[in-house]
Amino acid sequence: MKNILAVVGTFTFAMFSEFFIRIVIIFYHHGEYQFYGISNLPGISWIIILGVGIFVATWISGMLLITITNFSIIRHLLSLFTLILFMRVSEFLAMENQEWLYSFSITIIQAFALYLAYFTKNKFYASSSDH
């Protein structure tokens, strides 16, 4: 049960972080808020900021998940990625103008962030066991 709550909790943290970044961008530019897509963002720099923010939030979520669950790390990270993938597919289906490149690239960014969390954990334990 703890593992399921950890996966759902880290997924919720990643989505909350993304929505918070979107809210900050929209309040800064006094625009209309949308939960998905990039058509309402004011410029390319804000799209990059959103991508970096999503990458960092997903990496932190992966590190939290790895820290909470000390076994079957790959299985738990794949469970988190599956939830993220389902959310991105539903987001893509809800888009009116079908920004498929955005959905695909954000999914790749999040997959890379989770891989980096796994790689960071393995590197940390490999370097700490050498001493």
- Give the relative orientation of helices 44-68 and 73-94 as an angle to the nearest 10 degrees: 150
101, part of any domain: yes
The C-alpha atoms of residue 35 and residue 109 are separated, in whole angstroms, by: 18
91, part of any domain: yes
Confidence (pLDDT) at 30: 72
pLDDT over 90 (residue 16) = yes
| pTM given for the model | 0.84
pLDDT band at 23 (very low <50, low <70, confident <90, very high): confident
**Domain count within the chain:** 1
Residues of the domain holding 39: 2-125
pLDDT tens digit sequence for 71-113:
888 999 999 999 999 988 888 887 777 677 888 888 999 999 9
pLDDT band at 12 (very low <50, low <70, confident <90, very high): very high
